[in-house]
């Protein structure tokens, strides 16, 4: 179980078991097998990639679909919503504000983000990002991004700004 693996990882750190300048996960797994732990392969039902923006946005959509099928609640605490619509499946983080906007389907919106006068679908948006007067689709935005203006398909890293 996870606790046994954690104990073995802590052992490696506590005893400075380092190879090639790193702690090695196989060392912890070997120690577990020496103690009688039996590992069985899991079944891969679907391969979800995150190698570039397009596949990461698609993977986000699939994960949201899985969560919706499992009946998971995907809206964080302290959501402030005014004259707006959220179309599932979406993940809305804690302390998010949505004003005069449509969010979804397939949108993940990180903690502390603000969306105003915008339409966002099929996009992955990290924490503390502000989006105003925008139309976003198939987009991926980092944390602390500021957008003001209409765009369609956008990829921006942390602390970026876009004035369209």
Residues with Cβ < 8 Å from 111, sequence gap 6 or more?
76, 93, 94, 95, 96, 127, 128
State pLDDT tens for residues 55-86: 999 998 988 988 777 666 688 899 999 999 99
Which DSSP string corresponds to 28-62?
A: HHHHHHHTT----PPP-------SSHHHHHHHHHH
Model pTM above 0.75: no
Using a 10 angstrom Cβ sphere, with 0-12 exposed, 13-18 middle and 19 or more buried, the burial of residue 59 is middle
State pLDDT tens for residues 101-123: 999 999 999 999 999 999 999 99
């Amino acid at each position: 179980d996870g606790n046994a693996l954690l104990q073995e990882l802590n052992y490696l750190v506590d005893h400075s078991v380092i190879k090639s300048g790193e702690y090695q996960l196989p060392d912890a797994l070997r120690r577990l097998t020496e103690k009688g732990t039996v590992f069985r392969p899991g079944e891969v039902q679907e391969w979800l990639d995150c190698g570039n923006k397009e596949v990461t946005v698609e993977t986000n959509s699939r994960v949201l679909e899985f969560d919706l099928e499992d009946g998971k609640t995907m809206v964080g605490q302290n959501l402030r919503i005014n004259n707006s619509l959220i179309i599932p499946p979406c993940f809305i983080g804690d302390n998010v504000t949505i004003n005069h906007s449509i969010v979804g389907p397939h949108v993940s919106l990180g903690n502390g983000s603000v969306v105003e006068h915008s339409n966002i679908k099929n996009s992955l948006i990290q924490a503390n990002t502000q989006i105003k007067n925008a139309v976003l689709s198939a987009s991926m935005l980092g944390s602390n991004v500021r957008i003001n203006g209409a765009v369609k398909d956008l990829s921006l890293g942390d602390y970026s700004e876009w004035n369209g």
